[in-house]
Amino acid sequence: MSINAVEIIGSKRDGRVLSNEAIAWILNTYNAGGVAEEQMSSLLMAIFFNGLNAEELNTWTDVMINSGERLSLSGLSRPTVDKHSTGGVGDKISLILAPLVAACGAAVPQLSGRGLGHTGGTLDKLDAIPGWRAFLSNEEVRAQLESVGAVICAAGQGMAPIDRKLYSLRDVTATVESIPLIASSIMSKKIAEGTEALVLDVKVGRGAFMKDRDRARTLAQTMVGIGTQHGVKTVAQLTNMDVPLGIAAGNALEVIESVEVLRGGGPQDVRDLTVALAEAMLELVGISANPAEMLDNGKAYETYRSMISAQGGDPDYEFPKATRIETYEAPQAGIVNRLDALGVGVIAWRLGAGRARKEDSVSAAAGVRVLVREGDSVEKGQPLLELHADDDSHMQAGRDALSGSILINDETPTLTPLLIELVRK
C-alpha cells in the first residue's frame, strides 16, 4: 500500500483509526521535512477533534521517542524514579523532592524546562544561583546520579526532537489542548530520559493547564497508560491548583522557600505535597523510607547542598532582594473567599518573574509572597500580598494585574483538598 499525507489526514478527519505504519511514516517524514507544515497542522486538528485510540497513541509516542536520543540509566547502583508536574503557580516541589528522594536511596533524574506564561520553570529558579550549570552531558548526569542521587538539569535537545517541532506547530494552530497530544508530548520526553518509574503531578484548577477535574483525570489515565505500556512504572496524583502552592511565587523567592522546607520548616502545603509525592515515588521503586524524617533530620538538605555544588552553584548564595517591595492591602474587612492561583501567577509574571516569549529573560528577585490563605479573616488594611520587582515599570505592571486576584467578602469558602486523587493503572 502506498502511503500519503492527504489520505492519512482524510482518514483521521473521518474518524478512522490510523495504522502503525501510517503514523510512523507521517511523523518520520514530517521530521525529515517531507510533509508540509499545513498538512501536519491539518492532521493535528483532526486528532484534536477525533483523538487517538490506545494503540495509535502508543505508536505515536514510540515514534517520537525513537526520533531522538535515549538516556541510558541502567547499571546505576540505585533505582531511578522521576516526577513530572503539569505546572502550577508557586510549584517549587521539584527542588525539594529530587534531593529528598535521593536522600531516601533512589536516583532522581529531573530533566526540566524553563517556564512560559504564568507558571515558572524549575531551571529558571536554579538559574538564579550564580555559577549553577543547567547543561550537563549525559556522562555528567550519570555520574551525579551515582554520587549525589539527584540531578536537576536541562533536558537535552536530542531527546524526542519531533516533539519540539510538533509543539511549536500546536502552539500556533490552537491544538495544544488535545489530551493525546499533551500526553504523548510529556511522556515521550520522560520515557526518553530513561527513568524506571515516574510519578505525575497533574494539577487541576484555576491556575492549572487543566481547569476541569474530569479532563485532568483523563489526561492522568492516558499518561499512566503510555508509561505502563513502555515499561515505566507510572502513577499520577491529581492535585489542587485553585490556589498558589506555598507562599512564594517567583524564582529566588521559591528557592528560599524550598530551602526552608528542606530544613524541616516552610509552608505546610508545600511540605505535605512533597512528602506525598516522595512516598509515591519510593513505593514505585520498592524503597521503604520515611521522607518526612529526612526533611526533619537534615539529610534532604545535605543532599540538596551536594546537588547544587556538583553543578557549580553555591548552596549558601544569598539572593539579592528586589529593589522595590510593596504590599497590597485588604480594601475592606472580611473573609478571604477566593485567592486565585492564575491571578497570583499573572502578577508574578508581570512583576518580572516569568516570560511571555521563549527568548525573554526573567528576573531572579521578582515575584509575589502571598500573606493570607483562603478562609482567613482579615482586617481592612491588612497586607495580603507582598510584591517584589526590580524597577518601577514592572512594579506598576504587577499593580495593574492585582484586580480579581483576591476576593474578600463575608462568605466562608469551600476549600478543595490539596491531594485530590491517585490514578494507577
User: Smallest Cα–Cα separation from 342: which of 334, 350, 352?
Assistant: 350
Distances (CA, A) of 249 to 146, 344, 420: 32, 8, 22
**Residue 159 near residue 189 (C-beta atoms within 8 A):** yes
82 is an active site residue: no
Binding residues for ligand URA restricted to 121-180, rule: CB under 6 A: 167, 176
- β-strand partners of 380: none
182 in contact with ligand URA (CB under 6 A): yes
Whole-number Å distance between alpha carbons of 263 and 88: 23
* Closest approach of ligand URA to the CB of residue 111, in Å: 11
Nearest residue (CB) to ligand URA, 44 versus 335: 44
Nearest-angstrom CA–CA distance, 172 and 45: 11
Specify whether 19 is catalytic.
no
Options 23, 150, 186, 238; binder of ligand URA; rule CB under 6 A: 186
The answer to whether 206 is a known catalytic residue is no
399 is annotated as an active-site residue = no
Determine which one of 78, 84, 233, 388 is catalytic. Answer: 84
Cβ-proximal residue to ligand URA, closest one = 185
* Smallest distance from ligand URA to CB 209, Å: 7
For 143, counting Cβ atoms within 10 Å of its Cβ (0-12 exposed, 13-18 middle, 19+ buried), the class is: middle
Beta strand 81-85 with 197-204 is: parallel
The CA dihedral of 241, 246, 251, 253, to the nearest 10 degrees, is 160
Q: Rule CB under 6 A: is residue 110 a binding residue for ligand URA?
A: no
Smallest distance, Å, CB 323 to ligand URA? Answer: 34
Q: Which of 163, 242, 269, 340 does the annotation list as catalytic? A: 163
Any contact of residue 402 with ligand URA (CB under 6 A)? no
Contact of 201 with 275, CB cutoff 8 Å: no
Minimum CB–partner distance for residue 189 and ligand URA (Å): 6
Under DSSP, the state recorded for 412 is P
Nearest 10 degrees: CA dihedral of 139, 145, 150, 152? 10
Active site residue 84: yes
Closest contact distance (angstroms) between CB of 204 and ligand URA is 14
Total residues contacting ligand URA (rule CB under 6 A)? 6
β-strand pairing of 367-370 with 383-389? antiparallel
Cβ closest to ligand URA, residue 116 vs residue 292: 116
Binding mask 377-396 for ligand URA (x = CB under 6 A): --------------------
> Facing residues of 111 across strands?
153
336: contact with ligand URA by CB under 6 A: no
> Of the listed 125, 170, 203, 233, which one is catalytic?
170
Give the three cell numbers for residue 165: 517541532
CA–CA separation, 336 and 374 (whole Å): 5
Considering the complex, state which of residue 181 and residue 238 has its C-beta at the smaller distance from ligand URA: 181
Angstrom distance (rounded) from CA 301 to CA 178? 39
Q: Between residues 170 and 233, which has the closer beta carbon with respect to ligand URA?
A: 170
Which candidate in 189, 203, 233, 388 is catalytic?
189
CB of 101 to ligand URA, least distance (A): 22
Q: Which residue in the set 42, 94, 185, 234 belongs to the binding site for ligand URA (CB under 6 A)? A: 185
Helices 54-66 & 161-172 angle (0-180, nearest 10) = 120
- Catalytic residue numbers, as ranges: 84, 163, 170, 185, 189
Query: Residues interacting with ligand URA, by CB under 6 A?
Result: 167, 176, 181-182, 185-186
